[in-house]
Homo-oligomer: A and B are copies of this chain.
């Protein structure tokens, strides 16, 4: 494999479909049921998960149309505690692989990204409920005098709970409870790659990518806030938190080969693809599926969960009674 841009280019649509495997298949089947909290659909639940939730009727109301969190729970605090109790039970029973990677780090569960949180949930559990999750990624790049534009990658430590040993973006991290977007970008840049504060002043917010992936662990409607960071040619990232095995820098023309490799974390490739599109490496002239690929980098996760439930709520209809 010479890894030339031209050779890789026709394989990109297949990759874009791979990181949207749930959007293209399961999402359109009627197997999964909406997960509803306070009248808002906040997720989607697979049959294997529903089968377990049925055993907790005081917390989850499984109806023909949806799975609803008990509307009697009064507030954020109570909802978070009640769900957490169920998750701890399920964890003890060893029912779900994903709960073996319990994080003691929570994600917010919201109707929309910019609305008040309804509850928090351990990040290892959100994929069981198809909760949209949000992260931050930094493309660390260099303008090399001989090699042209080059992009840094990290190899994940073999001890990581998810995607161990896979290649990944230079810096990324989930947006967990209590942390802002830019704050998370700065924190992760320092922890994962020891980027000093004076270099972080060059950080530029450039886009987001949204895609809907599924694995044996669960459902992943992911949105990544993307930043570009131009680095000096002589900067070498150094890991500070033990979560990275090594770093590598590649000319942008070699990056397609990198993300198409089975050693690359599937759900990190959208950010690289977006970078290569924004910087003129993947173009409508060299990629016949350019428009479709860009659509797959922006699947409508913000509107994908219907709003019919809000209306029921407004009309005072409890979903449990439908």
Verify if A263 is at the interface (C-beta below 8 Å from B).
no
- In chain B, what residue has the closest Cβ to A297? B298
Q: Inside 8 A of A283's CB, which chain B residues have their CB?
A: 205
Verify if A25 is at the interface (C-beta below 8 Å from B).
no
Verify if A204 is at the interface (C-beta below 8 Å from B).
yes
- Among B180, B182, B292, B302, point to the contact of A295 (Cβ < 8 A): B302
> Contacts A182-B285, A285-B181 hold; do A290 and B206 have CB atoms under 8 A apart?
no
Instruction: Kindly provide the distance from the CB of A195 to the nearest chain B CB, expressed in whole angstroms.
Output: 17
Whole-angstrom CA separation of A257 from B290 in the bound complex: 31
Tell me which residues from 269 to 322 in chain A have a Cβ below 8 Å from any Cβ of chain B.
Answer: 277-280, 283-285, 288-292, 294-295, 297-303
Verify if A225 is at the interface (C-beta below 8 Å from B).
yes
Verify if A114 is at the interface (C-beta below 8 Å from B).
yes
Instruction: Kindly provide the distance from the CB of A17 to the nearest chain B CB, expressed in whole angstroms.
Output: 12
- Among B225, B292, B297, B298, point to the contact of A284 (Cβ < 8 A): B225
Q: Is the CB of B277 within 8 A of A207?
A: yes
Please report A residues at the B interface, Cβ cutoff 8 Å: 113-114, 180-182, 204-208, 210, 223, 225, 277-280, 283-285, 288-292, 294-295, 297-303
User: Could you list 25 examples of A-B contacts with CB < 8 Å?
Assistant: A113-B291, A114-B289, A114-B291, A180-B285, A181-B284, A182-B285, A205-B277, A205-B280, A205-B283, A205-B284, A205-B285, A206-B277, A206-B278, A207-B277, A207-B278, A207-B294, A208-B290, A208-B291, A208-B294, A223-B291, A225-B284, A292-B302, A292-B303, A295-B300, A300-B300
